[in-house]
């Protein structure tokens, strides 16, 4: 087992991982988003969180940014919503975005998003 510290880049064989703190409940956490680099590709994962500025650096120009999108436009503590992502994803400039952890409200608005929605059994090639 390898413990990671926030903002510490760590090489694990051919993979480099950098965690960054995010905000979820209970507040003592710790909770992390991850930036994973392997074979010249970057995969970023928001984890379960509300918007925090650390997500910009974690996702910056990633080949794939996987982000939770719990609700469409309703603010729910400790979770991301589509409206907040729409506002902030241009700053991240990820090449591909897949949304996950959608509630019924977010699923109902899925046709209005320009990003992919994760589904059970989805296979992703980067």
- The full DSSP string for 52-98 is -THHHHHHTT-SEEEEE--BSSS--TTS-BHHHHHHHHHHH--S-EE
pLDDT at 7: 78
Question: Cα-atom radius of gyration of the chain, to the nearest Å?
Answer: 14
Q: Which of 116, 9, 62, 38 is nearest to 46 (CA)?
A: 62
Q: What is the pLDDT along the chain (126 residues), one digit of tens a residue?
A: 777 877 788 998 999 999 999 999 887 778 999 999 999 999 999 999 999 999 999 999 999 999 999 999 899 999 999 999 999 999 999 999 999 999 998 998 888 899 999 999 999 998
CA angle 102, 74, 36 (to 5 degrees): 45
What are the tokens at 3?
């413990």
pLDDT at 100: 96
User: What are the chain's domains?
Assistant: 10-111 (3.60.15.10)
pLDDT at 30: 86
pLDDT at 56: 98
What's the CA gap between 28 and 18, in Å, rounded? 20
pLDDT at 123: 94
């Amino acid at each position: 087992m390898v413990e990671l510290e926030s903002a510490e880049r760590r090489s694990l064989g051919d993979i480099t991982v950098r965690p960054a703190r995010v905000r979820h409940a209970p507040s003592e956490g710790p909770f992390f988003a991850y930036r994973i680099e392997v074979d010249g590709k970057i995969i970023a994962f928001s984890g379960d969180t509300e918007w925090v500025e650390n997500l910009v650096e974690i996702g910056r120009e990633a080949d794939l940014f996987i982000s939770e999108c719990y609700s469409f436009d309703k603010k729910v503590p400790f979770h991301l919503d589509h409206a907040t992502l729409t506002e902030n994803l241009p700053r991240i400039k990820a090449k591909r975005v897949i949304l996950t952890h959608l509630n019924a409200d977010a699923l109902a608005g899925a046709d209005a998003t320009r990003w992919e929605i994760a589904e059970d059994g989805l296979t992703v090639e980067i």
